[in-house]
Structure 1
Amino acid sequence: MNIQNNSNNFDCIIIGAGAAGLFAAYSAGTRGKKVLVVDHANKIGKKILMSGGGRCNFTNYYIEHDRYLSKNPHFFKSALAQFTQWNLLDLVTEHGLEHYEKELGQLFCQHKSSDFLDFLKALIQPLDVEIRTSTSVTKIQKNKLFNLTLSVNDKTYSTSSSSLIVATGGLSIPTMGATGFGYEVAKQFGHPLLPTRAGLVPFTWNNKDKERLSALSGTAIPSVISIHNQSFSHQILFTHRGLSGPAVLQISNYWNEGESLDIDFLPEHRLSQWLADQSSQKSLGTVLKLLWPNKFVQIWFDQFDLTMQVAQLSNAQLHELDQMVHHWVFKPGGTEGYRTAEVTLGGVDCDEVSSKTLESKKQANLYFVGEVLDVTGHLGGFNFQWAFSSGFVAGQNC
């Protein structure tokens, strides 16, 4: 792997040095291709380094099709079959990358995310792959070759290749360098775009709930959150700004502005029945604190006299408690947007891209991979696997 040499003619140029771009470089390089990877950021793999709480959740044992969202629900199947999680794990094992399963098939680096980036660098190292960072693409022209004008420190130069792979990612986390450049390239070559929005993102409070519930910041409750026949079970985290945690991030992919969600804070029991099984002489507050943190009980049930005995609860009050706990209707004020979103929903319409090769149907030798496409995975390593699978396939065909 060479950094910043002076050669300007390549078999393949890849725009974007994230997970998809680096893996596309590896895949093309193994075929003897001379590859250039360019990225406007000053370092490669920035989102890899910050992912998974610093340990990079790089794939999942259970890569299943229902864990992906796309207007074309069959598009991603071919790439995921051509390069599977098991293929990735073979490489990981071969290179001695220590990893572990955290939960639900999620695979993390044993130590730190930079170990995974080092693994990708090791894959690329022996190949004819050059990486140029702090390099912006200012113009793309296509005659017989793709001719790119690159800019470094206000100086421009040209380079060319027979194939171009767009691995620019989406709009999520702009502080990591995310831009809409890949969408501009797609439009340049006549590709339709689907509306984009933030995915795997926390919700913000509406004004009514913020006044009452922001004091619960830092409280995490095992819950089930539901909308549109989709449900996710995991911790929900109350924050100063709204709701976060794994279940919230998952359901955000299915939520549209103005919609309400249904939340069950006690999915393992029916509260009214559970109360009936407790000592009727104990106070309501005492028994509720067996289920939830004190702060949650004090704030969530503030309309009840927590000193009253369980035996004093009327049927109407028991029903009200059940509704408050098992069917809380939450209407978000919105989401935290691309600032904290882990992915971008929407993007390049997959109908105009070959599912088998990732090549554009509108322009020969132009490929789109990773998050720039309208393919979004669930939380838990699914988006990284899509990046690796799509990058691999494009690299095998460019």
Structure 2
Amino acid sequence: MTGLEHRRTRTAVTLTDHDGSPLAHEDVTVRQVRHAFEFGCAAFEVADADAAYQDLWLGLFDTATLPVYWGRYEPERGRTALADLTAAAQWFADRGVRLKGHPLVWHTVKAPWLDPLPLEEAERLLRERVRREVRDLSGLIDTWDAINEVVIMPRFTNEPDGVPNAITRLAARLGRVEMVRLAVDEARSQGTSPRLLINDFDLGPEYERLIEDLLEAGVRIDAIGLQSHMHQGFRGVEQLLEVSDRFARFGLPLHWTETTLVSGDLMPPEIDDLNDFQVSAWPSTPEGEERQADDVAAHYTALVSHPAVESITYWGMGDAGAWLGAPAGLVRADGSPKPAYDALRDLVRGAWWTPATSSRTDAQGRVVVEGFAGTYEASCRGRTVEVGLAVGEGAVEARLPR
């Protein structure tokens, strides 16, 4: 476990009966049920998938990113997909999966009916949209990509219908800092205490300067999102750690929010915008799958080793419906797992997972749990209680239900 001490816990758990009395000299079984570290995946399709696919997803991931793109969520003004999204979110919540919504503000996949409106009205509706989604989904989705790709937002011009983009025009008028302030202030205005991220594919100086400006202006963000769609090849451990070091200096948790690694031919290196690479077929290959497995293991091992990183999200488990048609999933279109799935599971639910233990409490009802920080279940006298164990040395009480 060398290098991962910052992910581990050593906690004295005092097990008590429902009335608070310590359960001394009792047999107890303790098993881990979730990591404190967030091993996430974009989960747009999972709730409606077949049971085998769902089992693969739940057998690896513990945090789901759900789509709340304005243009899909409210394709017609006043008609939202709240019922469908709530049902999907509840499906995950019932299975102990943490949830994040993506995104509240973005200049792409926005509501098409917004663009022709006067800018003042568009701003008012955007603010209302942020408040509504945070309020309506509170208790299910309380972590959000508050704003997505704001570095490019004021200068974004790739609109196929030729209608000026309302979000881009607003970002140009307000500036990046005030655009982020709009997103986070409206999200916090509902009193639901959401956890809010900014998220970007730009991992260079412009994004760093934006974060500096936000912190100087008193705009409160909770984590920094770093995208990493590696369709042109693995970044490499050295670059991952260098990027993490650069953004760790702001003192905020780092979330690698959009990870992909392809298991077929790599996209040509001369492609600047990944969206420009359009092919009729992009198959997974045996050689590509072996490369993907090695790269996935190296990617996750490097980032889990970095103390500032607290979350990694793979951008879609399956090849079916993958972004740009890329063979970037961990599961083939036929539902069979690739070597990368097995390689990642061997880490997340293997090398980085605490085996279940059976022991006996001492005279004070205590049992010491050593392993990876996260959520555990303690079972005694035929009853079970869930308890969160934080990184480092600690002590907690776990009270059994009646």
Bin of the TM-score, shorter chain as denominator length: under 0.3
Which is higher, the Rg of structure 1 or of structure 2? 1
Instruction: Give TM-score, length-normalised by structure 1.
Output: 0.22
Instruction: Give TM-score, length-normalised by structure 2.
Output: 0.22
